Amino acid sequence: MRGSLLGATLIAALGGLLFGFDTAVISGTTVWLRQVFDLSDFWLGFTVAGALIGTIVGAMAAGLPADRIGRRRTLMVIAVLYFVSAVGTALPWDWYSFVFFRFLGGLGVGGASVVAPMYIAEISPARLRGRLVALTQFNIVLGILLAFFSNFVIAQLGLGSAEWRWMFGVEACPAAAFFGLLFFVPYSPRWLVSQGRLDEARTVLEQLGTDADSVADQLREIQASLNVQHHTLHEPLFCRSYLRPVLLAVAIAMFNQLSGINALMYYAPDIFKMAGAGANAALLQAVAIGGTNLVFTMAALAVIDHFGRRRLMLVGSVGYILSLSGTAWAFYTYGQNFTPTGGAIVLVSLLVFIASHAFGQGAVIWVFISEIFPNRVRARGQALGSFTHWFMAAAISWTFPMFAAKSGGHTFAFYAAMMVLQLLWVLLVMPETKGVPLEQIQKRLGIE
């Protein structure tokens, strides 16, 4: 692998690290936010959700600037959003300004979920594309753990009422570094071709490497995929030509959240308390969930270009079904009277669940969505997949407490049933994209 390719990938993947950090950092500040802004349970929940609303909007909106001003410049805008959000949430003048700056951070997260994996997919040779795009997911998981660690370190410094401000403000440093480093990455060669800047695209391909026998052959394939004589960069995404990739992107994004992954990530301590764990044990078990997530994400990153996307999804789907069924059985069996044995079953089941997610859906989703759309609509297709993911994330996160309060067993049984449907979708519908150049994937999907 060329050093220039790895460097550009690592810099772009920093958008994922800030994505994870920004999402998780608020977890250490909720007690302070309640006190400083005098928030009820409802308004605290709304305050926490402010960034998630921004994420949905950011995912919807990111495709247009990615096509107009390019992937690299859009990532620079995202870096500015992260920086302004970090400073603004550290120094708000009232609750309204705080929510506004959290919303800006959410715009950055939503935008990063679209543009970072898309950019990496467009600069990567097919044989390396899976593991390079999966670096975004690895960085998301790493960013979440760094946010938890940063909050812990700041909490030990005895900063008093300024503690929560530092927790938010520390993100400004990596955001500024992300912005500066983006000046050293090239434009996407596929975007350059779409703009008619062929000489620049040729230079970038020579620097990063190609799938074809020569740079000239690669350029011809990219030009053919754009096919500007019969298509434009402004034609609608929702048309018969793109029906298959649209349905594939929506399906994988919906299944990602119908597993209940965000319910576990946001409410892990509460789930373990429902299963009989004490407060400290619940927090410790939640840390075990985070560590397992990181380890199995690394494992998936190492093998995704060898085993392929479908095989990882198959393994993950089976793991989902077994672990969610085990969790549902434990809640049906023990109800409100969990024994240590019942609590252990829930812990083991959810560790298997998070491992299955990290090795399967978590590693595959951003890779797969970034691959299946033709060059001419990739930005809008990636935005559609990301929007679907974040919309479903909001729906699952907001409904889980209500449904779990009525029946933990029914809730996890529903998630397990959805994963049976995912398994059938993988077996019968999902195509394999491992090692296939982007321009060849659109041909395999029947797109001219």
Per-residue pLDDT tens over the stretch 285-306:
667 777 888 899 989 988 888 8
- The reported pLDDT for the residue numbered 281 is 64
Q: What pLDDT band is residue 422 in, cutting at 50, 70 and 90?
A: very high
Residue 218, sorted as left (phi over 0), alpha (psi -120 to 50) or beta, turns out to be alpha
Highest mean pLDDT pick, 33-47, 149-163, 193-207, 351-365: 351-365
**In terms of Cα–Cα distance, which of 290, 338, 341, 332 is closest to 416?**
332
**In terms of Cα–Cα distance, which of 154, 153, 123 is closest to 11?**
123
Worst-scoring range by mean pLDDT, 87-96, 404-413, 427-436? 404-413
- The reported pLDDT for the residue numbered 182 is 94
- The reported pLDDT for the residue numbered 229 is 43
pLDDT at residue 1 is higher than 60: no
From residue 430, give the alpha-carbon distance in Å to each of 27, 140, 213, 267, 388: 36, 25, 29, 31, 18
From residue 235, give the alpha-carbon distance in Å to each of 151, 232, 240, 244: 46, 6, 12, 16
Per-residue pLDDT tens over the stretch 170-192:
999 999 999 999 999 999 888 88
Per-residue pLDDT tens over the stretch 178-235:
999 999 999 988 888 888 888 888 888 888 877 666 788 888 887 777 765 445 556 7
- The reported pLDDT for the residue numbered 357 is 94
- The reported pLDDT for the residue numbered 377 is 83
pLDDT at residue 346 is higher than 50: yes
- The reported pLDDT for the residue numbered 75 is 94
- The reported pLDDT for the residue numbered 181 is 94
**In terms of Cα–Cα distance, which of 438, 290, 334 is closest to 377?**
438
- The reported pLDDT for the residue numbered 365 is 92
Buried b (16+ CB within 10 A) or exposed e, 105-122: bbbbbbbbbbbbbbbbbb
Average pLDDT value for residue range 387-414: 83
Average pLDDT value for residue range 338-364: 90
Mean of per-residue pLDDT scores for the chain = 85
Phi, psi (deg, nearest 5) at residue 239: -145, 170
The answer to whether 289 and 406 have CB atoms below 8 angstroms apart is no
Average pLDDT value for residue range 245-269: 87
Percent of the chain with pLDDT over 70: 92
What is the reported pTM? 0.81
CA distance 417 to 148: 32
- The reported pLDDT for the residue numbered 420 is 97
pLDDT at residue 400 is higher than 50: yes
- The reported pLDDT for the residue numbered 162 is 87
